[in-house]
Amino acid sequence: MRAILVDDEKANLQNLQTMLATYCPMVTIVAASHKIEEAVQLVQLHQPDLLFLDIQMGKQSGFDLLNLLPEKSFEVIFVTAYDQYGIQAVKFAALDYLLKPVNPDELVLAVNKATDRIKHKTANNQLGFLLQQLKRTDFSSPKIALPQLNEIMYVAINDIVRCESSNNYTFFFLANSDKILISKSLKEYADLLKPYGFLRVHQSHLVNPAYVKSWLKEDGGTLLLNNGQKVPVSKSNRESIKSALGK
């Protein structure tokens, strides 16, 4: 697998090169750059399979680099020192990222996932989705990428009724009655959707309050949703959920 590394700090480039050589021998580094303009030329010249891309690069960003490339058939693993807005957008696009200092286990996991994706496609639609989301001026209802085995579904946050955990998987229940199974934990989506008002009402349940019809007193506390479904509220969460719902 051929890779290009892009980071505005040479020390970070050297560190990542060393880690890849040590932990990911399947990756061949064909070029490295600390300048966006140079990196664009290198990507077009070498046509890599994988791009390790720093998000914040002085006054510019890794997203600026992606916008300068007309074709994006490569996979991207973002590398950043900050868990900021850019990373939030990356998460919504279901793309991989690494926080500095890079953890070897997380690096290996990200590379293995990229390898699997490279085997099954030619165009990285997730990158296009990410760049579209970054250009949005209306953030009231962004979309989220939900990766499945054979496809990636792009769902509006407002259309998610609730989420339910199933071991290390998560079921998404949508307003149109669709049910989607995702191979990620509920905690990951609870953290991602919390800024949009979603409530972790139970260890196994996450609910969009816009779809809550009423509070039922059965079993100590149960939410009745607009679609007729019932969701239990854990004892430890009852008072905070009541407060959040204005009950």
pLDDT above 90 (res 54): yes
**Who contacts 112 (Cβ-Cβ below 8 Å, separation ≥6)?**
none
Cβ–Cβ < 8 Å for 227, 161: yes
The larger pLDDT score, comparing residue 120 to residue 97, is at 97
With cut-offs at 50, 70 and 90, classify the pLDDT of residue 190.
very high
Q: Residue 175's closest CA among 149, 208, 223, 224?
A: 208
Nearest Cα to 52, choosing from 125, 101, 2, 86? Answer: 2
pLDDT of 44 > 80? The answer is: yes
For residue 236, report the phi and psi dihedrals to the nearest 5 degrees.
Answer: -70, -20
The token pair that represents 30 in the structure block: 């064909």
Of all helices (H) and strands (E), which one includes residue 237?
Answer: none
Strand spans (E) along the chain: 2-6, 28-33, 50-54, 56-57, 60-61, 75-80, 96-99, 143-147, 152-156, 160-166, 169-174, 179-182, 199-202, 205-207, 212-216, 222-225, 230-232
Which whole number is the average pLDDT over 3-7?
96
Neighbours of 43 (CB within 10 A): 23
Q: Give Cβ neighbours of residue 69 (< 8 Å, ≥ 6 apart).
A: 40, 43, 44
Backbone Cα Rg of the chain: 21
Average pLDDT over residues 185-189: 93
pLDDT in tens, 132-150: 777 765 555 688 999 887 7
Beta bridge partners of 43: none
pLDDT, tens digit, for every residue of 8-39? 999 999 999 999 999 999 999 999 999 999 99
CA distance 229 to 205: 12
Q: State the residue for tokens 């040479």.
A: 10
Contact 96, 77 (CB under 8 A): yes
0.75 exceeded by pTM: no
Q: How far apart are CA 25 and CA 19, in angstroms?
A: 9
Joined together, the tokens standing for residue 244 give 């959040």
Give the separation between CA 3 and CA 30, rounded to whole angstroms.
6
173-177: long-range contacts (C-beta < 8 A, 24 or more apart)?
173/227, 173/229, 175/211, 175/227, 177/227
